[in-house]
Structure 1
Amino acid sequence: MSCRIEGQSLNDYLKKYEGFNEVILEESQKYKIELDKGKLSVNVDFKYESLVLTDQGAKNTSEAFYYSELVPLHSLKRILWLIERENTRKSLLHR
């Protein structure tokens, strides 16, 4: 279950999401792929933000960090296309 925080009180959320232990406010993944001097770099940013409504919801929370330097490369053409597309998008935004 996901929702948006808009200055409501905790009691408002408890009523609105009765029976839920936790409400997901934001969940996203962002990938940044770069090729610098022939070296491929892939950064992944995961974001998870939630509102814990009950003690049970607090028991289920966890935090994890992942790191892997090993990223399978299936197509260099695809990587270059993504980088070119991103650079084109950035240049269009800065006109």
Structure 2
Amino acid sequence: MPGLRLFSASRALALAGWLAGLEPVRLEMVDRQLVLEAGLEDRWLLATLPEPEADAARQAFAEARLRAGGLQFIAVQARESDQRFEGFWMLRDLPDG
């Protein structure tokens, strides 16, 4: 399942709180940018990737999202090795319209 794991040893809880207030809807690759759509009209730029990496990420993300029926996730943890999450969201990419 495609998704995004965010790590911050000192700010994981604050980051999770900020994300909770956004009402995350879906993750999307737009050109070289990873974008979070939130609420009805908000979009947040999360990352800009180098061109070769962006092409591979865009294709892999689109294929994984299709296989998962539009499901995606965002997870916030203090460290990669942690077994617990400060925040976790399941998102579902529904067709526009």
Report the TM range for the smaller structure's normalisation.
under 0.3
Report the TM-score, using the length of structure 2 for normalisation.
Answer: 0.27
Return the index of the structure with the highest Cα Rg: 1
Report the TM-score, using the length of structure 1 for normalisation.
Answer: 0.28
Larger RCO, structures 1/2 (Cα 8 Å, 6+ apart): 2
